[in-house]
Amino acid sequence: MEIILAIVVGAAVIFFGALISMGNERQRKAIDGLHEQIVLWAMQDLRIKRERLARDVQVNNPIEWFNKITAKVSGFNLNLQVVEFFDNPQTLVCASADGTNKVIFSPLSPTETHQINRNKRSRLSQYSDRNPLLSISRHVQVYELSVLNGGILFDLELPLAWKSLTNQEIEQIERLWMYMPN
């Protein structure tokens, strides 16, 4: 009798455990479905807002635009001034108004810059090339600028600001790298 009672109780525990497990699985699927719907709604909302804003994109003061992006990403308001532009590789060198900090903007990532440096064949070429991006140390602060940290219209405003400061077209890119040498 006790054995039968133990088997019935054990079977009841297993049965109720299976029912609870099925209920939890159903709830998990429902929550996953809600999460997916929220993500799709947020993406669509962002597309609509971006589409509306993209029609009127303009950068009236490009150096102020770079200052705003630099302050947003690094936390420092440097009041940048344009110092120099280099064509190969495309590099924009800016300095703070007080001259203590230098900021280098480039579409090249640190790995691409390192590969260019590695592909140089002669030591004399480093003296003939004045581009500061190619002589930058590995221990420099590097920030990746994109739509995520530069604003919803970053990739649309970047070519306008770049062309205004350098008179050079920049290919349609989604990222810009900011190097802050010590």
pLDDT digits (tens, 9 = 90+) for 7-51: 988 888 898 888 888 888 888 888 989 988 988 888 788 778 878
Mean pLDDT within 82-93: 86
pLDDT digits (tens, 9 = 90+) for 57-72: 888 999 999 999 999 9
**Is pLDDT larger for residue 62 or for residue 89?**
62
> For position 106, what pLDDT does the model report?
92
Return the closest-CA partner of residue 87 out of 172, 146, 167.
167
> For position 61, what pLDDT does the model report?
92
* Res. 120 pLDDT band, cuts 50 70 90: low
d(CA 37, CA 175): 29
* In the chain, domain spans: 1-56, 62-180
Q: What is the 3-state secondary structure (H, E, C) of the chain?
A: CHHHHHHHHHHHHHHHHHHHHHHHHHHHHHHHHHHHHHHHHHHHHHHHHHHHHHCCCCCCCHHHHHHHHHHHHHCCCCCEEEEEEECCCCEEEEEECCCCCEEEEECCCHHHHHHHHHHCCCCCHHHHCCCHHHHCCCCCEEEEECHHHHCCCHHHHHHHHHHHHHCCCCCCCCCEEEEECC
Amino acid, res. 45 = D
Return the closest-CA partner of residue 78 out of 96, 90, 61.
96
> For position 64, what pLDDT does the model report?
93
Q: Is a pLDDT exceeding 90 seen at residue 128? A: no
What does pTM read for this prediction? Answer: 0.69
pLDDT digits (tens, 9 = 90+) for 132-177: 877 787 788 999 998 888 888 888 899 999 999 988 888 778 889 9
- Residue pair 133/125 in contact (Cβ under 8 Å)? The answer is no
Q: Is a pLDDT exceeding 70 seen at residue 124? A: no
* Res. 94 pLDDT band, cuts 50 70 90: very high
Q: Is a pLDDT exceeding 70 seen at residue 126? A: no
